[in-house]
Structure 1
Amino acid sequence: MSSEPIRSAGRSDAARRVLREVFGFEQFRGEQAGVIDTVIDGGNALVLMPTGGGKSLCYQVPALVRDGTALIVSPLIALMHDQVEALKNLGVRAEVLNSSLAPDERMRVLRDLHDGALDLLYVAPEGLMQPHMLDRLASVPIALLAIDEAHCVSQWGHDFRPEYLALGALAERFPGVPRIALTATADLRTRDEIERALFADGCRRFTASFDRPNIHYQVAPRTNARRQLVDFIGREHAGDAGIVYCLSRRRCEQVAGWLVEEGLDALPYHAGLEPEARRRAQDRFIREEGVIVVATIAFGMGIDKPDVRFVAHLDLPRSIEAYYQETGRAGRDGLPSNAWMVYGLDDVYRLRQMLAESELSDDRQRIERQRLEALLGYCEQVGCRRPPLLGYFGEAHPGDCGHCDNCQSPPKLGDATEPARMALSCVYRTGQRFGAGHVIDVLVGRRTERVERLGHDRLSTFGIGEEHARGYWQALLRQLLAGGLLATDPDGHGGLRLDPSARALLRGELRWKMREPARVPKTGRARTSSRSGAPVAPEHAPVFDQLRALRLELARAEGVPPYVVFHDATLAAMAEARPQTLAALGDLHGVGRHKLDKYGEKFLERLQALNASAG
């Protein structure tokens, strides 16, 4: 679209006009206005804002207000294409410039760039920092430089990309051009490293709340992973798009197979698949409704899909930071969504072993172990889940969120002081080098070949815990590990050992309360779900489903993802308001001027027909 009328207005007023007329939103959220004003006025900004918090608007709005072309540095080709496709559908002049372009397309984009016909140009860091590209840009008016996924610059970040380090030189290459770096997840160490690497000349730091109130958090011990996952989807999310994360490629294939057997539309995604298979899986996930992808962490950072209704973890992630980023891919449109996870002690052992076998320095391994232990503590949390989750990022939360499993069904605590002493004594007497399975065998008096060969059937702790089932002891050892009284050996082989803090409990100076396992209701097959996580109230669901069908029809005709036409949140607003004129439709959240002109009549006709049939 031509942005001259907007750019000719006062800059503050122009930003708000862009927000309303282009993006269809009435007001900025949280820190957005401060960031946008800073960049429009020529200042640098480091922005920490959760996924779904509106980071993209922080550079897209200034790009349409300032003169020149905004350069957006992005790490993934898929993410660039998705964002450019969505912008073009808003009438914005945006393009990508990367290795995926054919030579004639590349020349066309460069010609548009030099002719001043682009508002935003998305580039990869490797391509931007090529000398010939920097020389070419020297003759082009640059509105701003945006560095997305800025945690990639940090050695401590979970997606480190060494080529991002070169971006610090942009300050000298483009003096006077404002720079903005954005990320959804970065602890204090990562934030400081980003600022040192990219903003030697200084910047304002904006940190929005990391709370995602629309996400419901639920964590449970893994008992029967298949049944637990299928029951969860059946209870909450039949027909919804979702991501299931697993640690290994083999596990991804296995779980995708389970879901297909249950009648669900599920696909595996991992680095071991052929590139074409990965592309097809990602394309189906983005362009179709209700597809579930079962993936390793290789999937997600380049996905700009707002209507992912759930993220499930069947294995423990590597850290709270990774968990937060992965769960943040749910509900980017602000509608109710779920972050669901099951885990076991074997996950801790596996992750510890992966760390021990890695090439990380001893200091880095120590930091990563601390991050893993923080996540384990979060999993065994007995109170509201938000204080430990947000506290990891330096944000206080009062608790009692009302939107996590512990708030909705507070766990029961029972005195387990004596069983805890038994468990600690057994770990000590078996030599502090065996995993939970062997320790439990000794506690319950199970005479395995290994127990007898080692003489552990003659220990004083043999059989002292036979009154409790194995599941009880597994839960207790897990909670002692999360509470810091037990630790795993640093070589990653899963052996349990006592932490010095265990002495107080063994001496009788400390009591230990154990969280009793919660009972989760079970349902039938997924397709019988009542969809309690639906984005609209039951009375509006038939209209919402009709609008969703129209959206899919239009998206397929244009070859774009459905959310590019309208987000679920906008369809939900239509279903609830039932506008009967174009003016009323244009007042709804997410309906900008270009989309009203392009799709307004079609949606209005469908709404009028639905009203007539209801009457």
Structure 2
Amino acid sequence: MQNLHKQLKDHFGYDTFRPHQEEVIRSILEGKDTMALLPTGAGKSLCYQLPAMMFPGITVVVSPLIALMKDQVGALKTAGLPAAYLNSSMGKKEERLVMNAIDKKEVKLLYVAPERLLKPDFLGFMAGRDISLIAIDEAHCISEWGHDFRPEYRNLYTIRQHWSGVPVIALTATATRKVREDIVRQLAFSGHTSVTGSFNRPNLYYEIRAKDNAFYDMLDYLERNKKHSGIIYCHSRASAERVAEELTRDGVEALPYHAGLTTKERTANQELFMRGGVRVITATIAFGMGIDKSDIRFVFHYDLPKNIEGYYQETGRAGRDGKPSNCILFYSPRDLMKHQYFIDQMANRGRAAVCEAQLNAISTFCTSYRCRRGMMLQYFGEQPKLSNCGGCDICSPR
């Protein structure tokens, strides 16, 4: 096997692997199906990007979000690595250019949405080509027990019929044991490798506060920490807009990010935040996937998340540089009732039952007097090492 550290340095400029990356990569290079559960910020993308550079054929990457695809392909191209994407936002001319590049063997990493991957025209185009690896990002979307189930992901089991013998890697940052088992079953893994990193983020401080004084609390924090930048998550577009307007009016410039803005507006706001032109982004869950900003010092949840999985994923965007960072959730029973109302309207009662169980778990997390970190780790099936974590408002109040 080629020297992995040399390959890492040559292609990506890094001297060392992050925890678990090398184990995952070696499994892939041995041709094994691999289930990789690595926390937010652990460098999941490299786990398939490095093998893609070493394999002779194409690595097909299944990704759920157009924006995430564009960002990742843009970063790879900037680094001089041969990547491309195909999705519904492209015109026929753009598509043809990508297909021509594939014909000329100029593409090593091809990002596609799941619904595009399974279209007969795409399957016909890829038939007979050398596919070395299939990587499924955000693999928790496969499972009906997951927090972000997507029906188009559920159909990915058919890839085995089209590309038998091609190794598959499923990657996620947030999946309970039940969800992980479901992913493995749905994708018909056999003789596979499972790699699970710790869910513990020791540099993050978790705190729950009553929502009554949320604006005052946020302004007070931002006034005391003028150099800190971060994300305020809101449940709706209207909430994201309102929070941004009120903060800006009170002297803290904040920009919204949600699906109601044009692509141009979202890109402009994201780039301003990334380069430090604005300290605060108020966002729906549309913001954050694939965001590579290591110095986010705080993540606030102005509205209650729907589940612990979403909360963990969103708070995980703070403190990727390893420095202390703050995660504050503003809890209100009214937010709980709003979520419950939407669950009650769901036609699929099986899915509604899953969502209700997840909502009950986040409600218990917010209202309990047990260690927040310990509760979160146990939810994901990890046993906490300490009874007092020293990094939450229960164990170490401020």
| Aligned counterparts, 1:42-441, within 5 A | 42-201=31-190, 203-236=192-225, 238-274=226-262, 276-286=264-274, 288-301=276-289, 303-361=291-349, 363-399=350-386, 400-409=388-397
| Cα shift readout 1:228-255 (whole Å, capped 9, x = no counterpart) | 111122233x344422112233322221
**Aligned partners of 1:387, 1:124: CA distance in 2, in Å?**
36
| 2:14 matched residue in structure 1 | 25
Structure 1 residue 279 displacement after superposition: 4.6
Name the CA shift for 1:383/1:163 in 2 (closer, same or farther; >3 Å). closer
8 Å CA contact 2:33–2:189 kept in 1: the answer is no
Q: Which amino acid aligns with 2:67?
A: A
| Cα shift readout 1:345-375 (whole Å, capped 9, x = no counterpart) | 22222222232233341x5444433322322
Mark the runs of 5 or more structure 1 residues left unpaired by the alignment.
1-9, 410-519, 521-615
TM-score by length of structure 1 reads 0.61
Name the CA shift for 1:108/1:131 in 2 (closer, same or farther; >3 Å). same
Name the CA shift for 1:170/1:293 in 2 (closer, same or farther; >3 Å). same
Name the CA shift for 1:358/1:275 in 2 (closer, same or farther; >3 Å). farther
Q: Tell me, what secondary structure is at the counterpart of 1:217?
A: strand
Q: Which amino acid aligns with 2:255?
A: L
Structure 1 residue 45 displacement after superposition: 0.5
**Aligned partners of 1:265, 1:253: CA distance in 2, in Å?**
12
**Aligned partners of 1:306, 1:119: CA distance in 2, in Å?**
27
Q: Which amino acid aligns with 1:406?
A: I
| Cα shift readout 1:24-67 (whole Å, capped 9, x = no counterpart) | 33332332222111101111011111110111111111111221
Name the CA shift for 1:45/1:221 in 2 (closer, same or farther; >3 Å). same
Name the CA shift for 1:123/1:35 in 2 (closer, same or farther; >3 Å). same
8 Å CA contact 2:234–2:301 kept in 1: the answer is yes
Task: Select the structure that is richer in helix.
Answer: 1
8 Å CA contact 1:242–1:290 kept in 2: the answer is no
| Cα shift readout 1:97-124 (whole Å, capped 9, x = no counterpart) | 2233344433232222222222211111
Structure 1 residue 178 displacement after superposition: 1.1
8 Å CA contact 1:144–1:177 kept in 2: the answer is yes
Q: Quick check: which has more Rg, 1 or 2?
A: 1
TM-score by length of structure 2 reads 0.91
8 Å CA contact 2:11–2:50 kept in 1: the answer is no
| Cα shift readout 1:569-591 (whole Å, capped 9, x = no counterpart) | xxxxxxxxxxxxxxxxxxxxxxx
**Aligned partners of 2:93, 2:358: CA distance in 1, in Å?**
48
**Aligned partners of 1:335, 1:113: CA distance in 2, in Å?**
42
Structure 1 residue 276 displacement after superposition: 4.9
**Aligned partners of 1:288, 1:401: CA distance in 2, in Å?**
32
| Cα shift readout 1:276-296 (whole Å, capped 9, x = no counterpart) | 544543454445543422122
| Cα shift readout 1:489-534 (whole Å, capped 9, x = no counterpart) | xxxxxxxxxxxxxxxxxxxxxxxxxxxxxxx6xxxxxxxxxxxxxx
Name the CA shift for 1:332/1:97 in 2 (closer, same or farther; >3 Å). farther
Name the CA shift for 1:287/1:140 in 2 (closer, same or farther; >3 Å). farther
| Cα shift readout 1:149-181 (whole Å, capped 9, x = no counterpart) | 111112222222211122212122122221101
| 1:547 matched residue in structure 2 | none
**Aligned partners of 2:106, 2:189: CA distance in 1, in Å?**
32
Report how many aligned residue pairs link the two structures: 397
C-alpha RMSD of matched pairs (Å): 2.3
Name the CA shift for 1:364/1:132 in 2 (closer, same or farther; >3 Å). closer
**Aligned partners of 2:288, 2:346: CA distance in 1, in Å?**
23
Q: Which amino acid aligns with 2:369?
A: V
**Aligned partners of 2:287, 2:221: CA distance in 1, in Å?**
21
Q: Which amino acid aligns with 1:150?
A: A
Mark the runs of 5 or more structure 2 residues left unpaired by the alignment.
none
Q: Which amino acid aligns with 1:44?
A: D
**Aligned partners of 1:200, 1:46: CA distance in 2, in Å?**
9
Which 10-residue stretch deviates more, 85-94 or 291-300?
291-300
Name the CA shift for 1:324/1:259 in 2 (closer, same or farther; >3 Å). same
